[in-house]
Amino acid sequence: MEPIRFADILFIFLTLAITFTILWFVKKAKRKPQQTPEDNQSESSESVNPEKKEDLSMLTSNGFSFPEFNPDCSSLLCRHLSKQTFEELKNKITGNGFTFYQAIKSGIVNQDSSVGVYAGDAESYPLFSPLFDPIIADYHGFSSTDTHRSDLDPKNLSAVNPDPDGQFILSTRIRVGRNVAEMPLGPAVSREQRNSIEVQVSDSLRNLSGELSGTYYPLLGMDETVQNQLIADHFLFKAGDRFLDAAGLNRDWPEGRGIFHNREKTFLVWVNEEDQLRIISMQQGGDIEAVFSRLMKAVKEIEKSVAFMFDRRLGYLTSCPSNLGTAMRASVHIRLPKLAADMATFKKITDAHHLQIRGIHGEHSESESGVFDVSNRRRLGVTEVECVQDMYNGVVALIRGEKELE
């Protein structure tokens, strides 16, 4: 038998070493879970919370599984997310690392949602369009051939105070949502980006003059009593909204958030709530034209120093698809005790005029003492003037309906 040569031993040793190295890498790759949707969140984003059953049940090593919806779930998400659309979108991620899972998480966690989805950035709209487009069409009555329209001219609005004696309308408020161009939207913005938006926007607001001049009050360090009073008086957003929470919109709270207002609190700007700016004009009574004119003036002024995120088809881009387009909600707080006792008639009138009914402490709140928040529902495919005209026409019809029941 030939003696084993050193070269043979070396050859066998090297072959074994290479084989073991390959096997080790294969095993390691198999063990490493595939990237889950949550892995793509930025450092400051919330991560999967093992306490929350809904998170874990969704996530598998292969992305995530089709969500289980309650039988009574009626959100636009439940209605439009088919298994086929889910398979098409489940592993899609925008350039900012915003995943499809993040887009639909709020509607899964909150099965009583009305919409149920949020966009993380401008790219979310085209990327998740197989789900977002039917939702947008359903909410706004906006077809694939429709496009955003705009009319900011108060002269084109015909809305003389429908309640000059102040019998029904307590107050009028009109707001638009805006986000900063070239930034991710709130659900995907990083802490640093959010803070830089706060600086940019508050600097811009400091330059406003006349009726619009005011002061910026950061939420961080705000006295709790002052904060609660501002909320109770309908000027400031509430903390801890569970819909926003699940969408990642409350991360790093309260840092980066705040409110600007003039002395009379007729012109206000919310910074870094659901949208990066909510520009608001409001006052007691039913002078809708005055409220609209003030808002249009403010929007034009702010636009001189802050570029807003805009899309030719979808208009002003917002984190919730229900706010796209004009991003305008024009509302009155209106006392209608007779119609309150006859909700079928109330709803018939509001539906005919494309109006939405909310409670008096904002969305998802209840009405009190026969007082409701009544506002335009559609915001995309209709102009700003038409949004307010919808609200005005509906309010006139509601007042007539209330009087008929007296």
In the complex, the smallest distance separating the C-beta of residue 201 from ligand ADP, rounded to whole angstroms, is 16
At CB < 8 A and 24+ separation, what contacts does 54-61 make? 54/108, 54/109, 58/101, 58/108, 59/101, 61/33, 61/34, 61/36
| CA–CA dist 217, 219 (Å, integer) | 6
Of 31-39, 108-116, 164-172, 304-312: span binding ligand ARG (CB under 6 A): 108-116
Dihedral sign for Cα 377, 115, 139, 297, please.
Answer: positive
Query: Which CB sits closer to ligand ADP, 38 or 373?
Result: 373
> Which residue, 399, 390, 315, is CA-closest to 352?
390
Q: Is 106 in the site for ligand ARG (CB under 6 A)?
A: yes
Query: Which CB sits closer to ligand ARG, 138 or 363?
Result: 363
Please give the single-letter amino acid code of residue 18. Answer: I
For residue 210, give the DSSP letter. G
| CA–CA dist 186, 248 (Å, integer) | 8
Q: Is 248 in the site for ligand ARG (CB under 6 A)?
A: no
Q: Is 175 in the site for ligand ADP (CB under 6 A)?
A: yes
Of 76-84, 90-98, 125-133, 324-332: span binding ligand ADP (CB under 6 A): 324-332
In the complex, the smallest distance separating the C-beta of residue 184 from ligand ADP, rounded to whole angstroms, is 20
Out of ligand ARG, ligand ADP, none, which partner does residue 354 contact, by CB within 5 to 8 A per kind?
none
Of 14-22, 65-73, 112-120, 211-219: span binding ligand ARG (CB under 6 A): 112-120
Out of ligand ADP, ligand ARG, none, which partner does residue 326 contact, by CB within 5 to 8 A per kind?
none
Q: Is 245 in the site for ligand ADP (CB under 6 A)?
A: no
Q: Is 176 in the site for ligand ARG (CB under 6 A)?
A: no
The secondary structure element, H or E, covering residue 391 is helix 384-405
- Could you tell me how many residues of this chain bind ligand ARG (CB under 6 A)? 12
Which parts of 212-311 are beta strand (E)? 214-218, 258-262, 267-271, 277-284, 310-311
In the complex, the smallest distance separating the C-beta of residue 274 from ligand ADP, rounded to whole angstroms, is 7
CB 292 within 8 A of CB 285: no
At CB < 8 A and 24+ separation, what contacts does 353-358 make? 353/390, 353/391, 353/393, 353/394, 353/397, 354/378, 354/390, 354/394, 355/390, 355/391, 355/394, 358/331
In the complex, the smallest distance separating the C-beta of residue 179 from ligand ARG, rounded to whole angstroms, is 13
Q: Is 44 in the site for ligand ARG (CB under 6 A)?
A: no
| CA–CA dist 330, 148 (Å, integer) | 18
For ligand ADP, the binding residue among 105, 257, 333, 379 (CB under 6 A) is 333
Out of ligand ARG, ligand ADP, none, which partner does residue 133 contact, by CB within 5 to 8 A per kind?
none
For ligand ADP, the binding residue among 102, 250, 326, 331 (CB under 6 A) is 331
Residues 262-281 vs ligand ADP: string with x where CB under 6 A?
Answer: ----------------x---
Q: Is 328 in the site for ligand ARG (CB under 6 A)?
A: no
Q: Could you report how far apart the first and last alpha carbons of the chain are, in Å?
A: 117
DSSP 180-197: BTTS--GGG--HHHHHHH
Residues that bind ligand ADP (CB under 6 A): 171-173, 175, 234, 278, 282, 329, 331-333, 358, 360-363, 373
Residues that bind ligand ARG (CB under 6 A): 75, 106, 113-116, 243, 274, 320, 322-323, 363
